[in-house]
Chains A and B, each alone.
Chain A
Amino acid sequence: MAWSMWWKEARRIYKFPGKMEVEKYVYTPGLHGLEAARKLKEEGKFVGTKCGDTIYYPPTTFCPDFSEGGLAEVRGPWRVAAFTVIRETMEGERLEKPIVVALIVPDDAVGGIIHYVDVDPDKIYIGMEVEPVLKPREERKGNPVEDIVHFKPKIEEGEG
């Protein structure tokens, strides 16, 4: 028996499979998170936490300095602050179509959102202006990661 076959066999016999139940939780967005969820679901707008003169995104009720934050709309424009291309799964399988992921930061806030960008991996660059493509209102849940299909490069009128 080839070593690799033996190893697989030994592993099958002498390992005892188990499962750690991790799939059933609900997560509470919190006071500001709830308001942000409503705004996103109903109006397709993004809301962050205002602490002093700075807006943070995503929102929390509290600020980094422990003060209480207010709500403020985040208008963008959104820009690529860092990007990567996933070409292989964690388990080592090559992806047929590489996936572009970026940290996208709005000009008017600190923080940002990590999401997919529908763009040729060779065309993306840091500083590129992108815009969120939202699901239709009836499909939105209020969670920005789920409600955004992906970001796409912003094409100014008259271009392309």
Chain B
Amino acid sequence: MRVALVSMGWSGFRPSVEELSFREMMFEAAMRAYEQAGIDPRRDVDAFISCQEDFWEGIAITDEFAPEPIGGVLRPTLTVAGEFLQGLAQAYMMVKTGYFDVVVVESHAKPSDVESMRGVFEMAFDPLYLRPLKAPNPHFLAGLMASAFMARSGVDREHLAMVAVKNKSNGLYNPRASHSARITLSDVLDSEPVVDPLTRYEIAPFSDAAVVAVVASEEAARRLTDTPVWIDGVGWSTEAGTGSMAWHDLGSMPSMRMAATMAASMAGISSIMRDTSFAEVEDRYSFAELMAAEEALTGDALEAARMLENGDFDRDGYYPVNPSGGSLAMGVAFEATGGARLLEAYLRLLGGGEEVEAGAERALVLSWRGIPTRTSMAVILSL
């Protein structure tokens, strides 16, 4: 039995959605998704999954807030204390059991409400071996990763800047990309770094956003829509975990590779690069896109850098990577960040429309949970 995305809804994707609470943003995103699928959540949805973390919300036991805004009151609702794509994998498995025909996945973020962002990041750091450092900017961890990645792979500083230029410009075509801009390589390279080597152009800002997906069995999907987008594979991996710094190689991200490999093998794909036509991947820091391309697509960072330099990853290139503008243009929306990658891949596949031969168009979606985690998720979609 295949599993499909029937519809997706969203709200926000702005630096600050002043007029709505996070619950209203959930409601708006859910309403859009249900309207498109033509379903009533009180009747037609078998289970709801909300992906959230207490500290992002500023509310302990925040799962109590999950059901109401998405229509899940007194219905099977569960939370995943993790990323949207982890929730999607959960939904995929629930549908596969045969007990659930329609499952809704939701995640949201209201970073504009978090006035002590540094404090929240610090709370995620190992309390004995990292937090006492009290560094004035937790992004330093990404700076260390970029440094280790460049040293290991030989990728140039310019290549990191090229990711920022590409994605910030791609965002100009995307109404959800509030942080897009037309910038040049020298804008990035001449800018004073925030944490070496990363400049402000290479560290994705935050966005308030909510994303909802309606996931269904093949039979239900065919009943609900003429344009199902198939979830051919899902994958996830947590390496040693945030708590165990001891065996981390900061210059690579095996969890990205393992998640992508798992999703590809489920989809029956031997080469993601050959068998998909574009990718929406992790890019909350410029180097992360090249790391993701290496781990999931090329197997070689220098090859990924060469393709980037040649324009192969451009939105009209041979293999577009983050044609939506990625997180650098859309912002980081906490646990909904991977949901944003999925949303953009979903919309792009649908946009290909009828010109595309069924089964011929596939996309890779890959996300990482950001510092200080070693958790990544991947999805292979097809039309």
Contact = CB atoms under 8 A, between A and B. Distances in A.
Interface in A39-87: 49, 56-58, 60, 64, 81-87
Interface residues of B, number: 47
A102 B143 contact: no
A52 B149 CA distance: 28
Interface residues of A, number: 49
Contacts of B148: 81-82, 103
A153 interface: no
Contact of A20 (B58, B140, B143, B196): B58
A114 B246 contact: no
A22 B123 contact: yes
Contacts of A60: 244, 246
Interface in B103-154: 113, 115, 117-119, 121, 123, 127-133, 135-141, 143-148, 151
Nearest to A48: B246
A116 to B, nearest CB: 7
A91 B192 CA distance: 16
A40 B139 CA distance: 29
Interface in B232-268: 240, 244-248, 250-251
Contacts of A146: 132
B114 to A, nearest CB: 10
B138 to A, nearest CB: 6
A145 B132 contact: yes
A86 B151 CA distance: 19
Contact of A85 (B123, B129, B132, B196): B196
Contacts of B133: 101, 114-116, 145
Nearest to A94: B192
Nearest to B144: A82
B3 to A, nearest CB: 33
B129 A86 contact: no
Given A18-B58, A20-B58, A101-B143, A121 B196 contact: yes
Nearest to B59: A20
B100 interface: no
A103 B143 CA distance: 11
A87 B59 CA distance: 32
Contacts of A88: 137, 192, 194-195
The interface centre, meaning the residue of B58, B117, B129 with most chain A CB atoms within 10 A of its CB, is: B129
A116 B194 CA distance: 16
A33 B129 CA distance: 11
A121 B135 CA distance: 16
B18 interface: yes
Contact of A86 (B132, B140, B251): B140
Interface in B1-45: 18
B128 A110 contact: no
Given A22-B119, A58-B246, A126-B147, A86 B136 contact: yes
Q: Which 4 A-B residue pairings sit nearest by Cβ, starting from the closest?
A: A84-B143, A111-B246, A82-B148, A85-B196
10 contacts: A18-B58, A20-B59, A22-B119, A83-B144, A84-B140, A85-B196, A86-B135, A86-B140, A90-B139, A94-B192
